Amino acid sequence: MGITVSNISKSYKDVKALQKISFEVKPNELFGLIGPDGAGKTTLFRILTTLLIANEGHATVAGFDVLDDFKEIRKHVGYMPGKFSLYQDLTIEENLEFFATIFGTTIEENYELIKDIYVQIEPFKDRRAGKLSGGMKQKLALSCALIHKPKVLFLDEPTTGVDPVSRKEFWEMLKRLQQKGITILVSTPYMDEAALCDRIALIQDGEILQIDSPENIVKQYPKTIYDVSANNMYQLINSLKAYQHQHSVYPFGEFVHYTDKRTDFNPKDLKQYLEAQQLSNIRIEKTQATIEDSFMELAK
Amino acid sequence: MKRFIGFITKEFYHIFRDRRSLFILFGMPIVQILLFGFAITNEINNVDIAILDHSKDASTKEIINKISASKYFSIKQLIEREADIEGVFKKGKVKAVLNFEKDFSKNLIKDHQATIQIITDATDPNTANTISNYVNSILQNYQQEQNKAINIDYVIVPEPRMVYNPELKSVYMFVPGVMTIILMLVSAMMTSISITREKELGTMEILLVSPIKPFQVIIGKVFPYIFLSIINAIVIVVMSIFIFKMPVQGSLLLLGLESVLFIVSALALGILISTISATQQTAMMISLMGLMLPVILLSGFIFPISSMPVPLQIISNAIPAKWFIIILKGIMLKGVGIQFLWKETLILLGMTVFFIGLSVKKYKIRLE
Amino acid sequence: MNNNNVIQAEGLTKMFGDFKAVNAITFEVKKGEIFGFLGANGAGKTTAMKMLIGISIPTSGAAHVAGFDVFTQAEDIKKNIGYMSQKFALYDDLTVKENITFFGGIYGLSKLKIKEKTKELIDDLGLQEVANQLVGSLPLGWKQKLSFSVALIHEPKIVFLDEPTGGVDPITRRQFWEMIYRAAHEGTTIFVTTHYMDEAEYCDRVSIMVNGKIEALDTPKKLKEQFKVDSMNDVFLKLARG
């Protein structure tokens, strides 16, 4: 009752939005689609929610075919589009009531499922949706997407434009929903959110780079990464890039993530080289790869 | 059914919470009727004219008296020679010159026919047209009196506008036009905007990914506007009857039914527009350019269709508003019933069915 | 006033009616510094930034930007700053060259200077082959790099960046930060407003606004030490949750 996607391709005029995408989301899994803007995430969501027709391949959602059984799918999925898509001139309560009637149900009937989320915004239920903060809008949108007890929940970049506190709360809510038996497919451009999913697919330019659990993806990173820092960031990056043995050099916050081509790399050599480049306060330390490192290595 | 009611409730929330659409809905009809009724008028008052009388006999004197007695004209100047005509126009003193031929009375009695040349300043063609119509009607009036008096049958070619609007009240002419415009605006433009708004906000995406059926969305969107358009039609008719004392000669029931037919055709056009535009702005532009302009310019509302070039006359047949205006004029001014209007009604009905069919066919159950 | 400070704000306040959108903030930004200006939506960072770029007059307090007073010399400020936001970048229906020419013209660069700059910029970014293509047809990452370069076209003292790297792929994002480091290295001050904490990690110093006030101001490293956490995200969470 999860999602299967096999060989889905979709083009707009001469732009290939998706190229032979295949993956599977197991029932009751929290699956993340991680990739930058323009990777094809929204197109894939729209195909799975029966809003678009793929040029090639087929897919099923909750056991229904996206083409033949599109009416069934529309009854059984919850969808939260990337853009805030509720009626700004209706109040919180009116929005929720509207979506409940559209799905032929009532708020009371499914209150149990949305209770956790809805109680946080219920005190403001007479406020119009357009006047809510980003975090509250997001909670309302999620409540509306859940009001008919969907089997599968599609969340397209739910945390874009939302502050860290609301983001954290949102992911906690998703974990709780998963425990209630809902299959969740969520997309995000933020690599740090990947770790919160059971499994992820890294996607770029319409192609999947890798599918696995976040832990495994990080484990499979082929190189040893070093945090390098020095007194001058700009010169440090230039020097590292000019170093003949470098495999990759990426600024990473206050450090630079460095990998070397050689298997017998000794950090002391690098330190010597950097000192010769007039840099001081040089620190080189081994560090753990992140999803972002893996993504860049795969996309290279 | 519960879904449907839920949907319509939501639509009414939208309408009543948006001041702009509220104004278009209820302010516009009133403003337009008052504007056309009082400010923009084809009526003329105390227009300065000059007279060139080659006969100076009893008939011409009487006609001149009648003209100067009317509140429409005041005789500014009497001129003696044809050559002076251009002079008075150039000075801009008068808007028209009446040129009575020689032996006017004599010709009238002998040949049953005499000529007056009405020369008007056509730099303002509408006024010129109106002036010549007014003079004509005064002349006809005179002829009728003469006919009764001397019992000779004159051949009179009646000017229809004058016949059905004997008091020359232009507001009577505008009411059908304004009603057409407002029903078009409310029905077509507002529906197309309200549907495209859902697309723009992204709520259409959610509606599509829900068990609600496309035709339920359309009917839910359209229903409030049918209701509001009917209220508008009533407001317009009531205003014209009570403020402008315009008599409605024909059946009010027929008027109502024909209006509903026109409203439905306009709504279908609105849905059609919404299927081809992605944003509210485009929907508005298409509604204004594609619907309002033809309604104003080609429907016969302001410019008589008979005086248009032939290609435009042909195009005007494709405009539902043209037929609706004919029907409205028929019912309101002439007081005729369906037996005289069935042809127009049928054409309108055909168009409505066509637009509905097309918009249902064009309506997408998916994005793009 | 310290000559090395490109932005200096003291008790800067903006009221909307009774609401203090920005509540007496005091901070300074040094020349060539990459300064992160963080806060949740509605914390007041946009309002504060509008005052600094001279399009909103403060209710009280004082601030100098590039040496000019925000109360009296707003026009001079505008000439000396660059601005780039994620939303407004470049005209999609103009070519790369046309965009550069247009923005150069807006900032009053001479024809000769524009020509010079166009070449320099296109060579720098490696855009020779697409110089005459519409900007709309370029990948997002290229657009972003181009719009950053365009924001620097008049050699401003400070450039304000509004959530510059949201949604960009990780590699392009790093290329973008490299450009920022270079600009800072060459003496341009970079002022980044964002609510993405991983962008904050790249800044020399950051301030965090909560409810109109600056609640923390230091280097990311020291803030993480102070709050005993591993990331700026956690710093923010601790601050915002009180």
Domain limits of chain B?
2-40+170-362, 47-164
Q: Would you say residue B113 has pLDDT above 80?
A: no
Residues of chain C with pLDDT under 50: none
Nearest Cα residue in chain B from A83: B202
CB-nearest to B13 from A71, A86, A94 is: A94
What does B189-229 look like in DSSP terms, one character per residue?
IHHHHHHHHHHHHTHHHHHHTSS--HHHHHHHHHHHHHHHH
Residue B170 tokens read as 């232009």
Q: Among B322, B100, B363, B36, which residue's Cα sits nearest to residue B207?
A: B363
- Chain A contact probe: residue of B2, B204, B206, B280 with most A CBs at under 10 A: B206
Residue B24 tokens read as 């278009």
Q: Would you say residue B158 has pLDDT above 50?
A: no
Residues in chain B: 368
- Residue B165's pLDDT band, with cuts at 50, 70 and 90, is very low
- Separation CA C124–CA C143 (nearest Å): 14
Whether A225-299 and A3-219 are alike in CATH topology: the answer is no
pLDDT score, position B292 = 83
Beta bridge partners, A185, equal A31, A154
The Cβ of residue C19 has, within 10 Å, a number of other Cβ atoms equal to 10
- Beta carbons of A164 and C233 less than 8 Å apart: yes
pLDDT score, position C180 = 94
pLDDT score, position B157 = 38
Nearest Cα residue in chain A from B18: A89
pLDDT score, position B151 = 54
- Separation CA B170–CA B127 (nearest Å): 12
Is residue B330 within 8 A of residue B251, CB to CB? The reply is no
pLDDT score, position B164 = 40
Is residue A243 within 8 A of residue A270, CB to CB? The reply is yes
Beta bridge partners, A65, equal A60
pLDDT score, position B332 = 86
Residue A89 tokens read as 């001139």
Contacts of C197 in chain A (CB under 8 A): 164
- Separation CA C147–CA C153 (nearest Å): 10
**A64-97 per-position pLDDT tens digit:** 999 999 999 999 999 999 888 899 999 999 999 9
- Identify residue C224 by its one-letter amino acid code: K
- What is the fold, at CATH topology level, of the domain defined by A225-299? Alpha-Beta Plaits (3.30.70)
Q: Which helix (H) or strand (E) holds A246?
A: strand A246-252
- Residue B163's pLDDT band, with cuts at 50, 70 and 90, is very low
- Separation CA A152–CA A146 (nearest Å): 10
pLDDT score, position C198 = 83
Name the residue ranges covered by the structural domains of chain A.
3-219, 225-299
Query: Which residues 124-143 of B are in CB contact (within 8 Å) with A?
Result: none
pLDDT score, position A41 = 95
Q: Determine which of A55-64, B278-287, C166-175 has the lowest per-residue pLDDT on average.
A: C166-175
How far are the Cα atoms of A218, A228, A246, A293, C175 from residue A261, in angstroms, in the given order? 19, 16, 6, 16, 21
C140 at A interface, C-beta within 8 A = yes
Q: Among C28, C1, C32, which residue's Cα sits nearest to residue C204?
A: C32
Q: Would you say residue B46 has pLDDT above 50?
A: yes
Q: Would you say residue A60 has pLDDT above 90?
A: yes
Q: Among C180, C223, C163, which residue's Cα sits nearest to residue C40?
A: C163
Q: Would you say residue B168 has pLDDT above 50?
A: no
CB-nearest to A74 from B3, B5, B210 is: B210
pLDDT over 90 percentage in chain B? 20
How close, in Å, is residue A250 to chain C by CA atoms?
6
Q: Among A63, A190, A241, A292, which residue's Cα sits nearest to residue C233?
A: A190
- Residue B105's pLDDT band, with cuts at 50, 70 and 90, is confident
Query: Which residues 4-43 of B are in CB contact (within 8 Å) with A?
Result: 5-7, 9-10, 13-14, 17-18
Q: Among A160, A161, A124, A163, which residue's Cα sits nearest to residue A143?
A: A124
Beta bridge partners, B118, equal B98
- Separation CA C214–CA C207 (nearest Å): 6
- Separation CA C219–CA C233 (nearest Å): 14
The mean pLDDT of A183-206, rounded to a whole number, is: 94
The mean pLDDT of B245-262, rounded to a whole number, is: 89
How far are the Cα atoms of A34, B30, C166 from residue C161, in angstroms, in the given order? 25, 51, 11
Q: Among A71, A73, A57, which residue's Cα sits nearest to residue A17?
A: A57
Is residue C227 within 8 A of residue C57, CB to CB? The reply is no
pLDDT score, position C240 = 79
CB-nearest to A103 from B10, B210, B367 is: B210
Three-class SS state of C68:
strand
Are 3 or more Cβ–Cβ pairs between A and B shorter than 8 Å? yes
- Separation CA B272–CA B221 (nearest Å): 13
For the domain B47-164, what is the CATH code? 3.40.1710.10
Angle between helical axes of B58-69 and B104-111 (0-180°, round to 10) = 110
Contacts of C44 in chain A (CB under 8 A): none
Q: Would you say residue B42 has pLDDT above 60?
A: no
**Span A3-219 CATH architecture:** 3-Layer(aba) Sandwich (3.40)
Per mean pLDDT, which of A204-213, B229-238, C230-239 is the most reliable? A204-213
pLDDT score, position C24 = 94
Contacts of A69 in chain B (CB under 8 A): none
**A257-279 per-position pLDDT tens digit:** 999 999 999 999 999 999 999 99
- Beta carbons of A232 and C185 less than 8 Å apart: yes
- Beta carbons of B13 and A89 less than 8 Å apart: yes
- Separation CA B232–CA B182 (nearest Å): 8
| DSSP letter, residue A40 | S
Establish, for the pair of chains A and C, how many residue pairs have beta carbons separated by less than 8 Å.
86
Q: Determine which of A119-133, A202-216, B129-143, C204-218 has the lowest per-residue pLDDT on average.
A: B129-143
Nearest Cα residue in chain A from B214: A71
Query: Which residues 81-100 of A are in CB contact (within 8 Å) with B?
Result: 81, 83-90, 94, 97-99
Strands of C19-30's sheet in order across: C19-30, C5-16, C60-65, C68-69
Query: Which residues 25-64 of A are in CB contact (within 8 Å) with B?
Result: 46, 49-53
- Beta carbons of B209 and A53 less than 8 Å apart: no
Query: Which residues 107-146 of A are in CB contact (within 8 Å) with B?
Result: 144-145
pLDDT score, position A34 = 95
- Identify residue B122 by its one-letter amino acid code: A
Please, where are the H alpha helices in chain C? 45-52, 74-79, 96-106, 111-125, 140-151, 170-185, 197-200, 220-227, 232-240
- Separation CA B290–CA B236 (nearest Å): 24
pLDDT score, position B161 = 33
Q: Among B17, B357, B360, B6, which residue's Cα sits nearest to residue B207?
A: B6
Is residue C35 within 8 A of residue C204, CB to CB? The reply is yes
Q: Which residues of B45-61 are buried (b: 16+ CB within 10 A; e: fewer)?
A: eebebbbbbebebebbe
Q: Would you say residue B142 has pLDDT above 60?
A: yes
- Beta carbons of A101 and B366 less than 8 Å apart: no
Q: Determine which of A4-8, B114-118, B325-329 has the lowest per-residue pLDDT on average.
A: B114-118
- Separation CA C76–CA B158 (nearest Å): 76
| DSSP letter, residue C161 | E
pLDDT score, position B360 = 81
Contacts of C220 in chain A (CB under 8 A): 253-254
Q: Is A262 exposed, middle or buried (0-12, 13-18, 19+ CB in 10 A)?
A: exposed
What is chain B's mean pLDDT, rounded? Answer: 82
- Identify residue B301 by its one-letter amino acid code: F
The mean pLDDT of A206-235, rounded to a whole number, is: 95
pLDDT over 90 percentage in chain A? 86
- Residue B159's pLDDT band, with cuts at 50, 70 and 90, is very low
Query: A interface toward C at CB cutoff 8 Å?
Result: 35-39, 133-134, 160-166, 168, 189-192, 204, 232-235, 237, 250-254, 292, 295-296, 299-300
pLDDT score, position A162 = 83
- Separation CA C242–CA C237 (nearest Å): 8
- Chain A contact probe: residue of C169, C172, C188, C236 with most A CBs at under 10 A: C169
